[in-house]
Amino acid sequence: MTPPELLKAMREVVGGEHVLHKPEDLLVYELDGTIDRSLPEAVVFPATTAEVQGIVRACNALNVPVTPRGAGTGLSGGAVPAKQGVVLATARMRRILDVDPVERTATVEPGVPNIQLSEAAAEHGLFYAPDPSSQKACTIGGNVAENAGGPHCLALGVTTNHVIGMEVVTASGEVEWLGSRGPEPLGYDLRGLFIGSEGTLGIATKVVVRLLPVPETVVTLLAIFDDVESASETVSAVIGAGLVPAALEMMDRVTLQAAEAGLRCGYPPDAGAVLLVELDGIEEVVRGQVTQARAACNEHGATEIRTATEPAERELLWKGRKGAIGALGRIAPNYYLLDGVVPRSRLVETMGDVARIAEGYGFPVANVFHAGDGNLHPCLLFDEREEGATARVLEAGGEIMRVCVDAGGALTGEHGVGYEKHRFMPWLYSEADLENMRRVRGVFGNAGAFNPCKVLPEGTGCGEMAHQKGALAAAGPDAYV
Amino acid sequence: MSEAAAQAPPLVAGRAPDSFVAPATLDELRDLVAERDGRTLVPVGGGTQLALGNAPREPFALVDVRPALAGEIEHEPADLTAVVPAGVMLGELDAQLSAAGQRLPLDPPHVEQATIGGVLAVGTGGPLRTRHGLPRDFVLGMTVLRADGELVKAGGRVVKNVTGYDLMRLWCGSLGTIGIVTSVAVRVLPRVGTIDLRFEAASLAVGQALAETFLRADLRPELLELTRQDGGWGGIVRLAEGAVPKATEVAGTDLTPCGDEEYLAARDLGFGDGDALTLRAACATSAIASAVAAVEALAPSGVLVRPLAREVRATWEAGALPEAEEVAGAAGRMRTALAEAGGGLVAERLPAELRGALDPWGHSPNLARMAAVKAAFDPDGRLNASRFVGGL
Amino acid sequence: MTGWPLADDAPDTADLAKCVHCGLCVNACPTYAITGLEVESPRGRIHLARAVAEERIPLTEAVQGHWELCLQCRACEAVCPSGVPYGRIMERARAQVDAAPPAKGWQRRLRRFGLRNVIARPWVLAAAMAPVRWFARSPLRRLVQASGVLRLMGPLGRLEAQLGRPGRPFRPQDEAGAGNVALFTGCVMGELFGDVHRASVRVLQRSGASVFAPRGQGCCGALSAHDGDLEQARRLARANIASFEASGAETIVVNSAGCGAAMKEYGELLAEDPEYAERAEALAGRVVDFSEYLAGRDLPPGRLQGRVAYQDACHLAHAQGISAEPRALLGAVEGCELIETEGADMCCGAAGIYSLIEPGMSAELRARKAAQFEKHLPDIIVTANPGCQMQYEAAVREAGIEARVLHLAEALDSG
């Protein structure tokens, strides 16, 4: 049950109707897009910076942890309130405050969905570059927290390359602008430090982004290969030819079969891998690049190349890629979507290791990757209703992460460390490195109590988050009246 | 380690160091940093930006980090990455990347004489920032020698990575005040065929409009520099070779192919031997014209505008300096005006007679937070003390 | 182990397990768009259903409330990457509510009585609708509107606002074998939207079809299914299956999106019925939407002057995946300037009998449409479902603009 003094304090800040506390209402806020879960004691919906500040200060005074939440589409448990306490949801802060076509910037509140920002920019012939696969739902605030990427970040960079300033409420409850609407803030790049801090340093309450002119011409190539090796060689050849495509995506056989079954994309039944190459710019330049890319595909055994220039045709080629992960839901009840990075030249070898690990655990594995930057997304297929399957799939995921690290890679390319991987951090960083990172938390105050158990391994109270079935049932029916 | 006193050491922001040392190895450098002998340590690489900032707290030692941070470049052409010891000169790095048809598009003033560690510590971009952004945008990972002698790292060597806090961005542009960069992993790009074109513009507005036209036509200029010339403005733009016909079509003015001289002149403007005062303004697009008018009122010897990077730089030669009060007054007014749209003004070179009258950095609203950063990583103020924003 | 009181019609565990709570549905959900609460989103509702199934929580009034607020517009299904059959889950979840401690008990009983005894019985419905038609066309209506008494009348007042000017009823009278394309006439649709049916017949004939309205057909059962009264829905489905089988029609054209979606899912509804399972599947395969039937057929273009805003009917766009066809058909009409308004594919808040049960949410969604109409100033608003049509009548009035609301069939019939 929500402690009465907490409930009272939250209501004083935002009013009674913007605080959730009934067990039924809290339930969905125990999870995001991944496996870990933990129930909050209250969910609070501020509408203004002052209310955000009020919540943070009141929680700090009561020693209650605060976990920020956007749309809850994250894939590392970042929005899961690991130590319970208050979930601070940005759903009421959804205004686009300003789109400035002269400066090519937009100022938005953190709860604005990524796609709405791009739609608003489109009216001025501009767009917002980072396009995570969840862009129809995920929020800009969440993107800032996770330093989100997307298929098109190969050429254009991730969130940190496109957010120029933010008003934040720090973990200590102070309001401060980091960066600004201007191009180059003075002194330490606090903005750059804050972006990607996974909501552990504070909450962005206004975000200023830079917008880019919409490309004149976009050409999408879809090349079909017999196996992942040929497709990977093609990726190297494309890069070797001096091209930096807007996107360079690959899918393996299992993924293709699922996509074909669920989405009917028209892939040949024996296709072993598909490569999507997108090139953009002015027609005169793109034309030559398309010739180069096609040549690279042909040289490395593409059995078929489809080319599209019109938006509807391009969308068709992207359909299989964009719906691929979800389509896996049609061949298995659950999947565990991983996010690892290796140097691009180690891609094929790492995939072999991934396949070996998955086989050892008896899980089928499907692979989708941002091949251009070595960011792999193996999906382990399982059924959570099988006894112990969830625990084993998490274990297999850990082994795969280890393989990525050993190949000179990293634990996450875009999903964040979150709760999911905070324990793996010592694989990559020494105790001195981690202690050094921990100092950053101190700079923004309230070290460790704000979105606890995320990013950095912590000493106490961050053990396994259990499925809290037992705890709720034990509360009995009286808890619900 | 040798006290390199053979030649007179250079001044740092107008002040002479008490000593000049050049540790031969990383271990020696570590020992020096950990020594806590009360001296401020001022790390220096190529020394292209020694005039920047406030004078360091005394007594201070100038520490040439190049011998200690020299080493092999690990270039992985297939991954488009390179791991570079911080003491490597960018000229040397460029030569090695070029051999594999790749490049690191960073070009602050006199870049070939600068070390990669120094360029990142200063954090200033050059003409190429128009397309490629600031130096920090190319950093994948870093190892840093902290003020207590601990070597710590963040990031990694893969091109996409969100594992842990992005300390690289904190270190870049921190002017060595919270650690000395010892090694850096960078993202590199394929070298592509480009061409530099020269054009003339009757006014700044015309030049700005042309820049906007190029951008909106999706021509993706790598750089676009406008420099003040007698009776108007001259510009250069660097485009992919294939983009030239369309550029000519949309420009509505003559675009003439030109050599490297124009580019180098724009890149190094304000950093010549005779340049005594150099101001750099970061301004919103809508504030560029008024910023230019403000500096022109002081009769500078050169003015440069990067309209798409929203930067203005002006310089004055030693013989033609305006009065101190005039500069200080104008800079103060500019700072107030620019701050409204999130801009600022930095004095990159400041002659002795102006120090005291003009804070080289200007006010930051984040000073308290920045002081907390400094305290977290260099509590005793050992590294470059007093030199940075707000005297940090 | 299950916390469902009515085990037979409980949401399928496999259906529930399909949701991987990725959250991609939340923004497509109209009730989330209005409230910003994830408990009022598809993911939240499914998570509650799972929690009930797993006996983590009992089936409380609060749980029921979150399910009740769902419009069942199925916009979430259209964006769900995992193919979660949300509509089916929600119908079955609601079926449990009867057996559980009742929330809004009397309202629910009244609703169910109406659905079973009025809507589903053609003669009762006809008798009930006759005075409504009379009122809608009589001079008395203006007096009533002017008097302000409607504001005091709650749901009836709101219904008045949605009422257009209904023409003569259209009831199925044709003998079996009178044509090859059967028109489905429905319940309220035939009584209050006879003109739409007549327009549909003319347009279908223009495309070369031999259209008839076989007698013996009745309500499709969608309203009952959405209400969780699956037993009644199955009863109505069986009656329609038998009647259309006997009619000899090759194709059954449906001009009401909600009915079409329900009939295409007869196979699922009767999957456990040994006598009807196969027949239901076969009939469902013969059901096509009006616009689906016309797409690609040779239809001499009509004429329609003005700016036309097409508003997707949820059960056409989301449940049946048909959104391009109506626009293409309108685009071919001479003089028709097709405009797109933002949120054209978001629920208008009519949602069957939803506007009566959840008037507040319904009004908020209608206001969004009204704001768009005010911004884009269409001359004509076209949709493909009777309930939506009524809601748009009210939205037009709310926006204070001059615009006609037409069914797609009426729009194609003009010229």
Segment C314-359, tens digit of pLDDT: 999 999 999 999 999 999 999 999 999 999 999 999 988 888 888 9
Are B174 and A188 inside 8 Å of each other by CB? Answer: yes
Q: How far is B158 from chain A (nearest CA, A)?
A: 6
Query: Are A194 and A249 found together in one domain?
Result: no
Query: Are A337 and A313 found together in one domain?
Result: no
pLDDT of residue B380: 93
CA–CA separation, C150 vs C394, rounded Å?
A: 14
Asked if C337 and C244 count as a contact pair (C-beta separation under 8 A), the reply is no
Q: Which of A24, A328, A383, A390 to mutate to test the interface with C (most CBs of C within 10 A)?
A: A24
Nearest residue in B to A217, CA atom: B218
Q: How large is the C-alpha radius of gyration of chain B? A: 21
pLDDT band, very low/low/confident/very high, at A109 (cuts 50, 70, 90): very high
Q: Does A3 touch chain B (CB under 8 A)?
A: no
Which residues in chain B are closer than 8 Å to A244, comparing Cβ atoms? 189-190
Q: Does C54 touch chain A (CB under 8 A)?
A: yes
Q: Which of A102, A188, A193 to mutate to test the interface with B (most CBs of B within 10 A)?
A: A188
For the stretch B308-311, contacts whose Cβ atoms lie closer than 8 Å and that sit 24 or more positions apart, written own/partner, are B308/B130, B308/B211, B308/B215, B308/B221, B308/B224, B309/A183, B309/B125, B309/B129, B309/B130, B310/A182, B310/A183, B310/B282, B310/B283, B310/B284, B310/B285, B310/B343, B311/A183, B311/A184, B311/B129, B311/B280, B311/B281, B311/B282, B311/B283
Chains with ≥3 Cβ pairs under 8 A against C? Answer: A
Lookup: tokens for C166:
């209904």
Classify residue C131 as exposed, middle or buried by CB count within 10 Å of its CB (0-12, 13-18, 19+). Answer: exposed
Query: Are A361 and A254 found together in one domain?
Result: no
CA-to-CA dists, residue A198 to A70, A172, A414, B163, C160, angstroms: 11, 16, 11, 10, 52
Are A137 and C36 inside 8 Å of each other by CB? Answer: no
Residue C372 has pLDDT above 50, yes or no: yes
pLDDT band, very low/low/confident/very high, at C191 (cuts 50, 70, 90): confident
pLDDT of residue C144: 72
CATH fold for domain C7-103:
Fumarate Reductase Iron-sulfur Protein; Chain B, domain 2 (1.10.1060)
Q: Please, do chains A and B touch (3+ CB pairs < 8 Å)?
A: yes
What is the phi/psi pair of residue B376, to 5°?
Answer: -70, -30
Which residues in chain C are closer than 8 Å to A80, comparing Cβ atoms? none
User: Does residue A61 form part of some domain?
Assistant: no
Asked if C289 and C316 count as a contact pair (C-beta separation under 8 A), the reply is yes
Tell me what the mean pLDDT of segment B27-50 comes to: 94
Chains with ≥3 Cβ pairs under 8 A against B? Answer: A
CA–CA separation, B383 vs C199, rounded Å?
A: 84
Domain ranges of chain B: 1-191+364-392, 194-266, 268-349
Are B156 and A102 inside 8 Å of each other by CB? Answer: no
Are A177 and B162 inside 8 Å of each other by CB? Answer: no
Q: Of A287, A302, A326, which residue constitutes the final position of a domain?
A: A326
CA–CA separation, C188 vs C114, rounded Å?
A: 12
pLDDT of residue C238: 96
Task: Report the range of poorest mean pLDDT among A234-238, A463-467, B154-158, C132-136.
Answer: A463-467
**Domain span at A393:** 332-417
Query: Are A227 and A209 found together in one domain?
Result: no
Nearest residue in C to A474, CA atom: C56
Q: Does B148 touch chain A (CB under 8 A)?
A: no
Going by C-alpha positions, the residue among B296, A323, A104 that lies closest to residue C78 is A323
Are A412 and B163 inside 8 Å of each other by CB? Answer: yes
Which residues in chain C are closer than 8 Å to A325, comparing Cβ atoms? 81
CA–CA separation, C357 vs C367, rounded Å?
A: 17
Residue ranges in A221-274 assigned as alpha helix (H): 228-240, 253-263
Three-state secondary structure readout of chain C: CCCCCCHHHCCCHHHHHCCCCCCCCHHHCHHHHHHCCHHHCHHHHHHHHHHHHCCCCCCCHHHHHHHHCCCCCCHHHHHCCCCCCHHHHHHHHHHHHCCCCCCCHHHHHHHHHHHHHHHCCHHHHHHHHHHHHHHHHCCHHHHHHHHCHHHHCCHHHHHHHHCCCCCCCCCCCECCCCCCEEEECCCHHHHHCHHHHHHHHHHHHHCCCCEECECCCCCCCHHHHHCCCHHHHHHHHHHHHHHHHHHCCCEEEECCHHHHHHHHCHHHHCCCCCCCHHHHHHHHCCEEEHHHHHCCCCCCCCEEEEEEEECCCHHHHCCCCCCHHHHHHHHCCEEEEEECCCCCCCCCCCCCCHHHHCHHHHHHHHHHHHHHHHHHCCCEEEECCHHHHHHHHHHHHHHCCCCEEEEHHHHHHCC
CA–CA separation, B249 vs B261, rounded Å?
A: 25
pLDDT of residue C161: 65
Are A71 and C27 inside 8 Å of each other by CB? Answer: yes
- How do B19-21 and B60-64 pair as beta strands? parallel
Lookup: tokens for C55:
């006996």
pLDDT of residue A474: 34
Q: Does A209 touch chain B (CB under 8 A)?
A: no
Are A344 and B80 inside 8 Å of each other by CB? Answer: yes
CA–CA separation, B142 vs B155, rounded Å?
A: 7
pLDDT of residue A471: 38
Tell me what the mean pLDDT of segment A45-51 comes to: 98
Query: Are A320 and A337 found together in one domain?
Result: no
Query: Are A404 and A366 found together in one domain?
Result: yes
CA–CA separation, C121 vs C112, rounded Å?
A: 13
Q: Does A422 touch chain B (CB under 8 A)?
A: no
pLDDT of residue A193: 97
Q: Please, do chains C and B touch (3+ CB pairs < 8 Å)?
A: no
Are A25 and C62 inside 8 Å of each other by CB? Answer: yes
Provide the terminal-to-terminal Cα distance of chain B, rounded to the nearest Å: 28
DSSP B43: E
CATH fold for domain C303-413:
Rossmann fold (3.40.50)
The answer as to CATH 3.40.50.20 being correct for domain B1-191+364-392 is no
CATH at residue A361: 3.30.70.2740
Residue A263 has pLDDT above 90, yes or no: no
pLDDT band, very low/low/confident/very high, at C134 (cuts 50, 70, 90): confident
Tell me what the mean pLDDT of segment B78-102 comes to: 96
Q: Does B340 touch chain A (CB under 8 A)?
A: no
Q: Does A36 touch chain B (CB under 8 A)?
A: no
pLDDT band, very low/low/confident/very high, at C2 (cuts 50, 70, 90): confident
Residue B4 has pLDDT above 80, yes or no: no
pLDDT of residue A464: 58
Are A440 and B167 inside 8 Å of each other by CB? Answer: yes
DSSP A138: -
Tell me what the mean pLDDT of segment C177-206 comes to: 90
Question: pLDDT tens across B330-361, in order?
Answer: 999 999 999 888 889 999 999 999 998 999 99
Q: Does A468 touch chain B (CB under 8 A)?
A: no
Instruction: Specify the amino acid at residue A61.
Output: A
Question: pLDDT tens across C375-415, in order?
Answer: 999 999 999 988 899 899 999 999 999 999 999 999 999 86
Q: How far is B376 from chain A (nearest CA, A)?
A: 6
pLDDT band, very low/low/confident/very high, at A479 (cuts 50, 70, 90): very low
Are B161 and A412 inside 8 Å of each other by CB? Answer: yes
What is the phi/psi pair of residue B35, to 5°?
Answer: -65, -30
pLDDT of residue C85: 94
Are B158 and A195 inside 8 Å of each other by CB? Answer: no
Instruction: Specify the amino acid at residue A227.
Output: D
Asked if B328 and B354 count as a contact pair (C-beta separation under 8 A), the reply is yes
Tell me what the mean pLDDT of segment A312-334 comes to: 83
Q: Of A326, A345, A366, which residue constitutes the final position of a domain?
A: A326
Going by C-alpha positions, the residue among B257, B314, B312, B323 that lies closest to residue B289 is B312
Domain ranges of chain C: 7-103, 303-413
CA–CA separation, B216 vs A307, rounded Å?
A: 26
Question: pLDDT tens across C215-252, in order?
Answer: 889 999 999 998 888 999 999 999 999 999 999 999 99
Of A183, A370, A410, the CB nearest to B163: A410
Chain position carrying tokens 């004055």:
B316
Q: Does B296 touch chain A (CB under 8 A)?
A: no
Are B309 and A183 inside 8 Å of each other by CB? Answer: yes
Of B152, B245, B346, the CB nearest to A284: B245
pTM of the model as a whole = 0.93
Are C20 and A329 inside 8 Å of each other by CB? Answer: yes
State the architecture of B194-266 in CATH terms.
2-Layer Sandwich (3.30)
Q: Does B289 touch chain A (CB under 8 A)?
A: no
Going by C-alpha positions, the residue among B180, B186, B188 that lies closest to residue B87 is B180
* Total domains in the fold of chain A: 3
Are A137 and C25 inside 8 Å of each other by CB? Answer: yes
Of A181, A242, A417, the CB nearest to B164: A417
Q: How far is B94 from chain A (nearest CA, A)?
A: 16
Q: How far is A106 from chain B (nearest CA, A)?
A: 13
Tell me what the mean pLDDT of segment A240-267 comes to: 88
Tell me what the mean pLDDT of segment A356-364 comes to: 96
pLDDT of residue B69: 98
Query: Are A244 and A306 found together in one domain?
Result: yes
SS3 A2: coil
Residue B1 has pLDDT above 50, yes or no: no
Q: Which of B98, B163, B239 to mutate to test the interface with A (most CBs of A within 10 A)?
A: B163
Mean pLDDT of chain C, nearest integer: 88
CA-to-CA dists, residue C249 to A74, C184, C210, C213, angstroms: 51, 11, 10, 10
Chain position carrying tokens 């910076």:
A49
pLDDT of residue A465: 56
Q: How far is A439 from chain C (nearest CA, A)?
A: 33
Query: pLDDT > 90: what percent of chain C?
Result: 62
Lookup: tokens for A290:
């398309």
CA-to-CA dists, residue C299 to C124, C205, C310, angstroms: 38, 9, 19
CA–CA separation, B176 vs B144, rounded Å?
A: 10
One of 3.40.50, 1.20.1300, 1.10.10, 3.30.70 is the CATH number of B268-349, namely: 3.30.70
Is the preceding omega at residue A68 within 30 degrees of 0, hence cis?
Answer: no
Task: Report the range of poorest mean pLDDT among A152-156, B116-120, B242-246.
Answer: A152-156
Which residues in chain B are closer than 8 Å to A185, comparing Cβ atoms? 342, 344, 364, 366
Question: pLDDT tens across B188-231, in order?
Answer: 999 989 999 999 999 999 999 999 999 999 999 999 999 999 88
SS3 A412: coil
SS3 B204: helix
Tell me what the mean pLDDT of segment A177-188 comes to: 84
CA–CA separation, B143 vs B167, rounded Å?
A: 10
Asked if A57 and A173 count as a contact pair (C-beta separation under 8 A), the reply is yes
CA–CA separation, A144 vs A162, rounded Å?
A: 10
Q: Does A155 touch chain B (CB under 8 A)?
A: no
Residue A416 has pLDDT above 50, yes or no: yes
Chains with ≥3 Cβ pairs under 8 A against A? Answer: B, C
User: Does residue A54 form part of some domain?
Assistant: no
Query: pLDDT > 90: what percent of chain A?
Result: 76
Which residues, numbered 360 to 379 in chain B, qualify as contacts with chain A under a Cβ-Cβ cut-off of 8 Å?
361-362, 364-367, 369-370, 372-373, 376-377
Task: Report the range of poorest mean pLDDT among B181-190, C90-99, C385-394.
Answer: C90-99
Q: Does C138 touch chain A (CB under 8 A)?
A: no
Task: Report the range of poorest mean pLDDT among A35-44, A208-217, A315-324.
Answer: A315-324
Task: Report the range of poorest mean pLDDT among A255-264, C92-101, C180-189.
Answer: C92-101
Q: How far is B318 from chain A (nearest CA, A)?
A: 27
Query: Are A241 and A287 found together in one domain?
Result: yes
pLDDT of residue A78: 95
CA-to-CA dists, residue B391 to A177, B55, B363, angstroms: 21, 9, 11
Residue ranges in A264-413 assigned as alpha helix (H): 283-299, 311-322, 324-327, 347-361, 389-406
SS3 A134: coil
pLDDT of residue C83: 86
